[in-house]
Amino acid sequence: MVSFWCHDPGIGFRYLQQLSPRNIILTSGTLTPFKYFESELKTNFKVQLVNNHIIDIKSQCLSVILKKGINNSPIQLSYENRDNEASIKDLGNCLVNFSRVIPNGMLIFFSSYAVMNRCLEVWATSLGIEKTIIERLEEHKKTFREPKTSELMRGVLADYAKCAKGNGAILFTVCKGKFSEDIDFADELARAVFVVGVPYPSLVDRR
């Protein structure tokens, strides 16, 4: 038996438009930047309402780009450079230092599963008698990894939340992965969010 599944939301949305409804209203708290959402659905929305964010970016949020690690190695995890162990180790050592001072929960979003798997592989590798980076992270916070199956999500999230509100926890996950949508990581669950690599959107427009 062979099944064909359409993973292009623009095709489904075009079908809804062809039904000639009077209005189609889409609401969400996470749609901006809106141009990316329009490109996903392959349509232009003539009426848009975008409210200000509840967080005051200037006084309540610190956004920085980490260009170099503690060993002064450039942190570059592009496709061509994602196997560079020096960059991966330096990034891991930076996370160890951050985990010492950041309370509660830390979210680490990777640009893809390949990048996450490669980083965790390097961070779990021991050199001689030295502790691995994962072991050093575990000295400060319990670490959790996005499960391979959706059935395990609820259990992993519950355990992460319990530890994050206690001694602290780190969740390794992926942009557009199982934990990146429809989950509210509020307060203690996300005192810091790290994005490793750039999750490039699809730029193909089939209209």
Which residues, other chains included, contact 12 with Cβ-Cβ below 8 Å and sequence gap of 6+?
Answer: 6
Tell me the two tokens of residue 81. Answer: 């450079």
* 137-158 per-position pLDDT tens digit: 999 999 999 988 888 989 999 9
CA distance 62 to 171: 20
Give me the sheet containing 105-110, strands edge to edge. 142-145, 169-174, 105-110, 192-196
Of 129 and 3, which is predicted with more confidence? 3
CATH code of the domain made up of 57-196: 3.40.50.300
What mean pLDDT value characterizes the chain?
85
* Burial (0-12, 13-18, 19+ Cβ within 10 Å), 99: buried
Whether 191 contacts 102, CB under 8 Å: yes
Higher per-residue confidence, 52 vs 194: 194
Over 70: is that where the pLDDT of 205 sits? Answer: no
Burial readout 55-93 (b: 16 or more C-beta within 10 A, e: otherwise): eeeeeeeeeeeeeebeeebebebeeeebebeebbbbbbb
Q: 110, 116 in Cβ contact below 8 A?
A: yes
Burial of 188 (0-12, 13-18, 19+ CB in 10 A): middle
Note the pLDDT tens digit of each residue in 76-94: 777 777 777 888 888 999 9
Helix axes 34-41, 9-18, angle to 10 degrees: 70
* Domains in the chain: boundaries: 1-51, 57-196
pTM for this one? 0.73
Query: CB of 107 within 8 A of CB of 192?
Result: yes
Closest to 48 measured CA to CA, from 60, 37, 61: 37
Element (H, E) at 145: strand 142-145
**What is the DSSP-derived secondary structure letter of residue 186?**
-
